[in-house]
Amino acid sequence: MAGVEMACVSKRFGDVLVIDKVSLEVQAGEFIVFLGPSGCGKSTLLRMIAGLETVDDGTIHIGEQRVDTLPPGKRDVAMVFQHYALYPHMTIKENLAFGLKNRRVPASEISARVEAAASSLEIGDFLERRPGQLSGGQRQRAAIARAIVKQPSLFLFDEPLSNLDAALRARTRIELAQLHQQLGTTMIFVTHDQVEAMTLADRIVVLHDHRIEQIGTPMEIYRRPATKFVASFVGTPKINIVELTAAKNGAMTTAALPDGTALETCIPWNASFAETGTTLGLRPEAIRVVAQGEGTAAGRAKVVERLGERTLIYAELSDGTMLTTEDRGDSQVRPDDMIGLSIDSSNAVIFTNEGRAHHGTQVSN
């Protein structure tokens, strides 16, 4: 088990900068998720830790050892690839044993480790089969088993769940979380799926435009996003971001929505709020639907989306601003109904026109 330390790491492909001076410290035993949209550089960053991409600038340490000059096989890491990358002409058993043989692990120990990994991932029955004879989920398990038998100090996962169907993905996610608890080994997991990131991570590293946008626990990322990008990337349904007119209210800020609704916030006043382009972020669950005439604001329901345990209502304010709001699962609201909106501004976020987030002083859960 070892931590990872990246210091001022950069990477270019030709003239294109794909990683721009990224620094990051991962604690030993931590489950870290790199989250970001496609093309943000998250996979490249992972591959640089693995040694599959060279590092143009900066250093990478795994534990005490500097690894950015070592070949991949000498870094004591194991990786699970997006397309599994199982050796197609070898049986699963040979796939699992391949890396160990290359490290000259004694045969008796190889078979013991393969047996143990196979039984913990329930692939014992498939050991003599080839990857082509297995289903996607079984291949995924074999790929994870191949990583486990190496007993590495660091596991790397490159979007390993993206090829599975929804049910299998949810199941494998839970199994990965259990695996991490069981092994306690440091894991770095790359995904563009925020649900995977929220459920698996001890800490999430949000990447955007080749840089780290924010590092934090899942709830920090969700509740106190550092930037407008993080706020809108994390959370389903998406956070409402609306134009606002901010006014100083003692030390705090009063935010007026485009339709004139004034919201008292606990966000300390900042002079930059007066500039145009300042916006307000409100999570859908902070806007509850109430009877017409009640609540802080009024709107008209445009689209009603029933999700079972809750209902999403896309409401239009009098000036045309659209807000995503939440109601109970048995909501009686129909499209075109006039509704009242009760807005809880305690978790509201104000974004300056450069996208920096300002949070309230106290956060209620």
Q: If binding is defined by CB under 8 A, does position 51 make contact with another protein?
A: yes
In DSSP notation, 334-362 reads -TT-EEEEEE-GGG-EEE-TT-BEE--SS
Least spacing, CB of residue 333 vs another protein, in Å: 49
Nearer to another protein, 83 or 356 (CB): 83
Q: How far apart are CA 221 and CA 231, in angstroms?
A: 8
Nearer to another protein, 52 or 290 (CB): 52
CB burial class (10 A; 0-12, 13-18, 19+) of residue 107?
exposed
Q: Are 161 and 129 in contact (CB under 8 A)?
A: no
Q: In the range 94-113, which residues lie near another protein by CB under 8 A? A: 98-99, 102-103
Structure tokens at 109: 């120990």
Residue 37 identity (one-letter amino acid): P
Q: In the range 53-92, which residues lie near another protein by CB under 8 A? A: 71-74, 77-79, 81-83, 85-90
Nearer to another protein, 53 or 327 (CB): 53
Q: Which stretch binds another protein (CB under 8 A): 47-55, 264-272, 337-345, 354-362?
A: 47-55
Query: For the chain, what is the radius of gyration of the CA atoms?
Result: 24
Least spacing, CB of residue 126 vs another protein, in Å: 18
Q: How many residues bind another protein (CB under 8 A)?
A: 25
Least spacing, CB of residue 98 vs another protein, in Å: 5
Q: How far apart are CA 358 and CA 361, in angstroms?
A: 9
Least spacing, CB of residue 85 vs another protein, in Å: 4
Q: Which stretch binds another protein (CB under 8 A): 10-18, 49-57, 258-266, 335-343?
A: 49-57
* Complete edge-to-edge strand list for the sheet that includes strand 262-268: 245-249, 252-256, 262-268
Contact pick of 4, 19, 22, 50 for another protein (by CB under 8 A) = 50
Least spacing, CB of residue 5 vs another protein, in Å: 20
Closest CA to 227 of 213, 237, 238, 241: 213
Q: How far apart are CA 52 and CA 361, in angstroms?
A: 44
Which SS3 state, helix, strand or coil, does residue 287 take? strand
Least spacing, CB of residue 50 vs another protein, in Å: 6
Structure tokens at 116: 């143990």
Least spacing, CB of residue 185 vs another protein, in Å: 15
Q: Are 210 and 219 in contact (CB under 8 A)?
A: no
Q: How far apart are CA 214 and CA 321, in angstroms?
A: 29
| Backbone torsions φ then ψ of 296, nearest 5 degrees | -85, -35
Nearer to another protein, 80 or 301 (CB): 80
Q: For residue 120, how far is the Cα from the chain centroid?
A: 27
Least spacing, CB of residue 284 vs another protein, in Å: 39
E runs forming strands in 93-153: none
CB burial class (10 A; 0-12, 13-18, 19+) of residue 321?
middle
Q: Interface mask (CB under 8 A) for another protein, residues 318-337, using x and -?
A: --------------------
Least spacing, CB of residue 48 vs another protein, in Å: 13
Nearer to another protein, 37 or 73 (CB): 73
Nearer to another protein, 88 or 293 (CB): 88
Q: Are 208 and 217 in contact (CB under 8 A)?
A: no
Nearer to another protein, 18 or 343 (CB): 18
Q: In the range 146-165, which residues lie near another protein by CB under 8 A? A: 146, 150
Nearer to another protein, 98 or 337 (CB): 98
Nearer to another protein, 121 or 221 (CB): 121
Residues binding another protein (CB under 8 A): 50-52, 71-74, 77-79, 81-83, 85-90, 98-99, 102-103, 146, 150
